[in-house]
A and B are shown apart, each in its own frame.
Chain A
Amino acid sequence: MVQISLPENSKVKKGKYFKDKTGSKNLRKVNIYRWDPSTGENPRIDTYEVDMDNCPSKVLDILNKIKNELDPTIAYRRSCAHGVCGSCAMNMGGKNGLACTTPHSDIEGDIDIYPLPHLKVKRDLIGDLDGLYKQYQSIEPWLKSNSKSETTEIIQSKDDRKKLDGAYECIMCACCSTSCPSYWWNGDKYLGPAVLLQAYRWIVDSRDEEREARLKKVADELKLYRCHTILNCTSACPKGLNPAKAIAEIKKMLATASL
């Protein structure tokens, strides 16, 4: 059942206020979701005044600046800082994205930073993605080829290779899945855009021999058809991919194929 409001232990309270100490004229308020597992308190929003004159252009730069200069207790995931690893996926200004590729100038007013939506929070901006990884595993994201020899390469035509464009670039940052209202309400059963895009990637791979089995596996009222083309996924994807279209393609294949 859809639960619109947050459970009692997840209600967000007002937190601390970190006043600027540099005396800078160019300040921005940054509101960050905080939750400390060791205290037993509800999550809170801490507000930081950040000197923007000495801060590079991306949201991740703000977080690094806060962690280095204002409050070392803040926790978030980050690694490559170039939009390749997908670690710093979070919700900024009401939209999911990678902190390392999202310019803070794109966000109007105060900068609100939350963890990815509708996840169990481990700490501060770190959400629990175990469920999503299990679902990823369930679609068996590896090449399945039985007949061909293991010593020779499997040839793929240029046209067939082209089918993977827009699917193989996915970095599994979970921005799309956690932006999807359907995934919020049915995340335990509905696979969500990230995993379905990967399912699609293996279904259309000409080298894979389990196409039909893969299609049959996702052909499920809850696993696949909970996509109602809300398109939050496509607008959230930091790599400019289109999971909604991939899901539509799977639906189309199922509608036209006789399994």
Chain B
Amino acid sequence: MENKEPLSPHIQIYRWHVSSLVSISHRITGIINIIAITLICIWVSLLLFGESKYENINFFLSSYFGKFIILGLTWSFIFQILSEIRHLIMDLGYGFEIRTTKITGLVVIFGSIILTIIFYFIGKNFI
């Protein structure tokens, strides 16, 4: 009895590098952002139901978990924007050399983290 030809291992064995990481993160943050925008819309709609609902949401967003969510979404939006700019530049046909893609990828990763921190401090009125 002959075995059906197996499929060779793929994502299990392939090594990650900067631009594949940025690419998959771009997709994940994209999905997160769509959910986030939907939630923000629901939040705004809830305000129509009066003060008590506003208080509830405010209570949640002031909690540590709420703040974590807000900060996470801030990062996710910033990452998406930076990565999108990188993609736009690539769509113009620039930045395809391996070295360049590595640098722009790292700019996206670290830039998003740094900008999130700056955002946080601006929100806290530290800056």
Contacts and interface: CB of A to CB of B under 8 A. Distances in A.
Interface of A: 4, 6-7, 9-10, 12, 33, 35, 37-43, 91, 93-95, 112, 114-122, 127-128, 179, 181, 184, 228-232, 234-235, 242, 244-245, 248-249, 251-252
A232 B14 contact: yes
B91 A118 contact: no
Given A40-B2, A117-B9, 17 more contacts: A6-B6, A9-B4, A10-B6, A10-B7, A37-B5, A94-B13, A94-B15, A117-B11, A117-B14, A121-B5, A128-B5, A228-B27, A229-B23, A231-B19, A232-B17, A232-B20, A252-B93
Contact of B3 (A6, A37, A95, A244): A37
A91 B11 CA distance: 12
Contact of B19 (A9, A119, A230): A230
Nearest to A179: B14
B8 A181 contact: no
Contacts, number: 113
Contact of B13 (A114, A122, A128): A114
Most chain-B CB neighbours within 10 Å: which of A117, A229, A252?
A229
B12 interface: yes
Contacts of A128: 5
A40 B13 contact: no
Contact of A33 (B1, B8, B90): B8
